[in-house]
Amino acid sequence: MNIGEIARRAGVSRSTVSYALSGKRPVAAATARRINEVIAELGYRPNASARALAEGRTRTLALVIPPASRRLTNVQLDFVATVVEAAAAHDLDVLLSPSGGDHDRSFERIVTGRRVDGVIMMEILLDDPRVTRLRQNELPFVTIGHVEHPGGSWWVDVDYAALVRRCVHHLADLAHRHVVLINRSAELVAAGYGPAVRSTAGFQEAAEQRGLSAHVVCCADEPAAGLACFEQIRARRPEVTAVVTINEAALPGLQRALHRAGLVVPRDFSITGVIADRLAEDFHPPLTAADVPAEEMARLAVDLLVERIADPAADPRHALLDPVISLRSSTGARPAR
C-alpha cells in the first residue's frame, strides 16, 4: 500500500496526503482528519527507499566498527550502544559496518552507495586509510579518536597522552622510581592505533621529566595476557613498584597475578591508568584512574555529525576530552624495602 492508495480512499490527491504527513503546507482540519483516519486504519507508513530517493537523504547514519573477528572490548561496546541510542533520539537509524582496511565491501557500499547521510568511525589509526577515503568523498563524517593530522576533520577523543602523563606524575609524587606502562597489544601499536601510541609518548615524556626508570610493555586484550604480562614484569624487573595501564581487558588477569604474587595493593604495589569508571570501581581495591567517558564521547560524536550534516559548510569542530583522575584506593607511597 502506498500514498496513492491513501489518497484515493481519503478522496484527495497524493500531494495533499504528503503534505498532511510532513506539515510543510497547511491542510484543512477536516481533510487532515480524514487522511489520518485512513492512514491509521491501514497502518500506512511511507516507503523509506522512495522517500530517500526523493529527498536525497536517508535518515540513516553509518557506524564503522572493527571487524568482529577482533573481539570488541567493553568500551567499544559502549560506543556502539550509545551511538545507536543517541541516533535514535534524532530519529536516525544506524547501519553497522565491520571494516578493517580500505578494501572492504561493506565500507565501500556505504561510502559510495549513498546509503547514509553521515558516518561515525571508531578505533582510528594515526594514519587511517578509511579517513583518507572518506575525505575525498563529500560524505560527512566524525571520528571517535583522531588521526595524526586531523586538519579540517571532525572528531572527539580522550587526551590519552595528557592522562597518562598525569598518572606518571601522580606516581612520581608518591616516590615511585621504577614504573611500567601496560599498553594495548603489540599489533595495535604497530598499526599506529592512536591511544596506544599517544599513551606511550605521554608515559615516556613524563617519566623522563621526573627522572623515573620507565618501561613499556604491550599486552593483548585478554585476562590471560594480563596475567602473563604482570608475571613477566615481576620476573624481569623486580624493582618496579607501580604500573600505569590503559588495557581494560587485561585487568582481571592483572588482578589474579597480584593475588598470586601475594601483593597487597596499594601497600606493596600501585596501579593506575586510563580505565572506564565502571571497571575501575569493580577492581579490588577500586582503581585510581582516569575515566574513558565512552557514552559522552559517543553522544558528542552523534551530535557533531548531525550538526555537520545539517550544515555541510560549517567549520570543522572537535572535542579533546580530558577527564579528571579519580583518586580511589589503588595507589600509595612506594613501599620501603
Partner DNA sequence: TTGTAGGCGTTATCAC
Partner DNA sequence: GTGATAACGCCTACAA
Question: Which residue ranges make up the site for a copy of itself (CB under 8 A)?
Answer: 43, 45-50, 52-53, 58, 60, 63, 65, 67-69, 71-72, 77-78, 80-82, 84-85, 88, 91, 93-98, 105-106, 108-110, 112-115, 223-224, 252, 256, 259, 282, 284
155 binding DNA? (CB under 7 A): no
109 binding DNA? (CB under 7 A): no
261 binding DNA? (CB under 7 A): no
C-alpha span between 39 and 21 (Å, rounded) = 10
Nearer to a copy of itself, 148 or 222 (CB): 222
Alpha helices for the chain (secondary structure H)? 3-10, 14-22, 29-42, 48-55, 74-89, 105-112, 129-135, 160-173, 186-191, 194-209, 223-236, 251-260, 277-282, 294-310
CB of 168 to DNA, least distance (A): 54
User: Residue for cell digits 590503559?
Assistant: 246
CB of 123 to a copy of itself, least distance (A): 13
CB of 54 to DNA, least distance (A): 3
C-alpha span between 168 and 158 (Å, rounded) = 17
26 binding DNA? (CB under 7 A): yes
Considering only residues 43 to 82 of the shown chain, the ones binding DNA according to CB under 7 A are: 44-47, 50-51, 53-56
15 binds, among DNA, a copy of itself, none (CB under 5 to 8 A by kind): DNA
| Dihedral sign for Cα atoms in the order 248, 172, 327, 298 | negative
H or E element in which residue 273 lies? strand 270-274
The number of residues that bind DNA (CB under 7 A) is: 31
Q: Of the candidates 8, 25, 259, 284, which one interacts with DNA according to CB under 7 A?
A: 25
CA nearest neighbour of 245 among 264, 261, 230, 263 = 230
Contact between residue 185 and residue 218 where contact means Cβ atoms under 8 Å apart:
yes
What lies within 8 Å, CB to CB, of 173 at 6+ separation is: none
137: which strand partners? Answer: none
Q: Of the candidates 3, 83, 206, 292, which one interacts with DNA according to CB under 7 A?
A: 3
24 binds, among a copy of itself, DNA, none (CB under 5 to 8 A by kind): DNA
**DSSP code per residue over 104-135:** -HHHHHHHHTT--SEEEEES-BTT-HHHHHHH
Alpha carbons within 13 A on the beta-carbon side of 198: 19
Q: Of the candidates 8, 11, 71, 329, which one interacts with DNA according to CB under 7 A?
A: 11
CB of 151 to a copy of itself, least distance (A): 22
Nearer to DNA, 12 or 65 (CB): 12
40 binding DNA? (CB under 7 A): no
Nearer to a copy of itself, 97 or 204 (CB): 97
**Terminal-to-terminal C-alpha distance of the chain:** 81
CB of 249 to a copy of itself, least distance (A): 11
C-alpha span between 282 and 252 (Å, rounded) = 10
112 binding DNA? (CB under 7 A): no
327 binds, among a copy of itself, DNA, none (CB under 5 to 8 A by kind): none
User: Residue for cell digits 595495535?
Assistant: 188
Stretch near DNA under the rule CB under 7 A, chosen from 22-30, 162-170, 263-271, 305-313: 22-30
4 binds, among DNA, a copy of itself, none (CB under 5 to 8 A by kind): DNA
15 binding DNA? (CB under 7 A): yes
CB of 18 to DNA, least distance (A): 3
Residue type at 214? A
CB of 261 to a copy of itself, least distance (A): 14
DSSP structural state of residue 193: B
Contact between residue 316 and residue 140 where contact means Cβ atoms under 8 Å apart:
no
